[in-house]
Amino acid sequence: MDSRGQVEPRIVWAVVESGIGPLLLAASPGGLVNVVFHATGPVRDRTVERLASRLGTEPVEAPGSPLLAEAIRQVEAYFAGERRDFDLPLDWSLISGFNREVLRELASGVPYGTVVGYGDLAGRVGRPGAAQAVGMAMGANPLPVVVPCHRVVESGGGIGGFGGGLETKRRLLALEGVLPEPLF
């Protein structure tokens, strides 16, 4: 229950502006459960429907919810250049198995301003040679930016793929000082 004696919804969400466009943040009592890029109109609506289906409860738009307050504050501070690390409870219920293991290693072992190769990350979780599977895990990441899949690049120096689009990945890497800022 909240301070007014009301039952807090099980999943709450809000759209926040960021340096890379609108992000949808969704949280449960267990922590931040989803971050979605380009969260306008149809993307936002599909995300809310998918969350309802996957988590078995109807998400409620609640930008003032205590479940979201700290996540919103930290995301805004990150994009303002005032924060390098996220210190949030994370709800991993949208991902499991190898993908979860890889994403947890990424979250704890690849700091701000650094990158790691897909193959290197595979080796860190004891699966050398599983670079392609790591790429699939990055594509399935339900918590991008907070679990920094933008920091995973090709071993030959290429930027690799990115679910939010390559321009978004470039902008995130530029924000962290890994790449130069785009000229325009």
What pLDDT, in 10s, does the model give residues 120-136?
999 999 999 999 999 99
Q: Is the pLDDT of residue 7 over 60?
A: no
Extract the tokens encoding 118. 């897909």
Fold of 97-176: Arc Repressor Mutant, subunit A (1.10.10)
User: Which part of the chain is CATH 3.30.160?
Assistant: 12-80
pLDDT at 184: 46
The sign one gets for the Cα dihedral 45, 61, 27, 1 is: negative
Q: Are 64 and 71 in contact (CB under 8 A)?
A: no
pTM: 0.91
Distance CA 117, CA 71 (A): 28
Among candidate residues 149, 153, 172, 173, the one labeled active-site is 149
Instruction: Report pLDDT for 146.
Output: 97
- Tens of pLDDT, residue by residue over 28-67, are 999 999 999 999 999 999 999 999 999 999 999 999 999 9
Q: Which residues contact 127 (CB under 8 A, 6 or more apart)?
A: 98, 133
User: Which of 9-13, 36-40, 82-86, 145-149 has the least mean pLDDT?
Assistant: 9-13
Catalytic annotation on 149? yes
Contact 141, 169 (CB under 8 A): no
Within 10 angstroms of residue 170's Cβ, the number of other Cβ atoms is: 19
| Category of 53 on φ-ψ map: left (φ > 0), alpha (ψ -120 to 50) or beta | alpha
Mean pLDDT, residues 18-35: 97
How many Cβ atoms from other residues are within 10 Å of residue 114's Cβ? 12
| Contact predicate 105/96, CB 8 Å | no
- The owner of tokens 């599977």 is 133
**Residue 147's pLDDT band (boundaries 50, 70, 90)?**
very high
CB atoms within 10 A of CB 23: 23
CATH code linked to domain 12-80: 3.30.160
Please report where in the chains the tokens 């809310």 appear, as a residue. 48
